[in-house]
Structure 1
Amino acid sequence: MRLAIAYDVSDDTNRRQVYRTLERYGAWRQFSLFEVDVSKSERVELEDELESHIEPADGDRIRMYRLCRSCQDNTTDLGSDPPGEQSNVL
């Protein structure tokens, strides 16, 4: 299944861990946004790992959107190309 995952993480160290975790599963698309392809079991593992890197009391949030095939086929990119291998994480 394909997921779009957006995150807001206040602490630099935690944000870096979230970024590196997501990088193992998929592609960085925009600041704080990844697209990943995972199986059901990988999704559970990913959610558990991401949850361990955030502090909800600090306002940290991660939101996952499942992208159906129709949604994927109807995705439009405007502006510059998605980022390459470079990172926006400190």
Structure 2
Amino acid sequence: MRLAITYDVSNDSNRRRVYRTLERYGAWKQYSVFELEISKTDRVELEDELESHIEPSDGDRIRIYRLCESCVGAIEDLGDSQPDEQSNVI
């Protein structure tokens, strides 16, 4: 399944842990945004791990969007090109 994940994490060390976790699963697209192609099992593991890296009481938040095939085909980039640093490029 294809996912887009965004995050807003206040603590620097927690934000780094979220970034590094997402980097293992997908491609960094822009600040605080990743795209992933993962299995259902990996999604459950990922959500558990991400949840352990955030503090909701501090306002931390992660949003996960499932992208259907027609949605992926309609993605448009405006402005500067995507970041050079990518892992597991989709």
Place the TM-score, normalised by the shorter chain, in its bin.
over 0.9
- The answer to whether the aligner puts 1:56 opposite 2:56 as a matched pair is yes
TM-score by length of 2: 0.93
| Ranges in structure 1 where 5+ consecutive residues have no aligned partner | none
Aligned residues: 86
- Superposed CA deviations along residues 10-48 of structure 1, whole A, max 9, x for unmatched, are 000000000000000001111100001110000000000
The residue number in structure 1 matching 2:17 is 17
C-alpha separation in 2, matches of 1:73 and 1:30: 18
State the Cα distance separating 1:85 from its structure 2 match: 1.1
State the Cα distance separating 1:72 from its structure 2 match: 0.2
The residue number in structure 2 matching 1:3 is 3
C-alpha separation in 1, matches of 2:47 and 2:68: 19
* Matched letter for residue 35 of structure 2: E
CA root-mean-square deviation: 0.9
What does 1:1-90 correspond to in 2, within 5 Å? 1-85=1-85
| Ranges in structure 2 where 5+ consecutive residues have no aligned partner | none
Q: 4+ runs of 1 displaced by more than 2 Å?
A: none
State the Cα distance separating 1:80 from its structure 2 match: 1.1
TM-score by length of 1: 0.93
When structure 1 is superposed on structure 2, of 75-84 and 62-71 the one drifting more is 75-84
